[in-house]
Amino acid sequence: MGDILNWKNKFSRHKFNTPLIFENYAQLHTHAKYFKEYINTLQTHDIPILQSGRNTGFLELIVYLRNIFSLFDCLKTFRTYLLTYKLSQDLKRILVL
């Protein structure tokens, strides 16, 4: 799932490293949904990870996964693909500030 946050090459051949396009949207969206559900099942010391003090990275990942598909929905009339590498770099920069 980590590659979904790091798409930087329009011509990649790896299944989960291709950009978000119309043809793989449904498959990647489903995969992201299962990944978000998996995060919801994680626990630390019998406390759900999203309710613990170590939730920041997991919450960011869930928000990011939700938003890249919404962003593609908004941009699909203008763009045929979405590369997320720069978006994740901007997210990291914002979180550091």
Residue 20: name the closest of 77, 80, 67 by CA.
80
> Tens digits of per-residue pLDDT, 13-67?
666 667 888 888 898 889 889 988 998 898 888 888 888 887 878 888 888 888 8
pLDDT at 91: 53
Give the alpha-carbon dihedral of 56, 83, 16, 33, to 10 degrees.
50
> Tens digits of per-residue pLDDT, 74-84?
888 888 888 77
pTM metric for this prediction: 0.72
